[in-house]
Amino acid sequence: MPIYEYECMQCHKIHEVIQRFTEEPLKNCPVCGGEVKKLISQSSFILKGSGWYVTDYARKNNSGNSSSNSNKTSKKVEGKST
- For residue range 56-69, list pLDDT tens digits in order: 555 555 444 544 45
Helix H or strand E segment including 60? helix 54-81
Higher pLDDT, 72 or 6: 6
Half-sphere exposure at residue 34, Cβ-oriented, CA atoms within 13 angstroms:
14
pLDDT at 53 over 80: no
- The whole-number pLDDT of residue 75 equals 52
Kindly calculate the radius of gyration of the chain based on its CA atoms and give it in whole angstroms.
Answer: 27
Please say whether the beta carbons of 63 and 31 come within 8 A: no
- pLDDT, tens digit, 9 for 90 and up, residues 12-43: 999 999 999 899 999 999 999 999 999 987 77
Helix H or strand E segment including 28? none
- The whole-number pLDDT of residue 44 equals 72
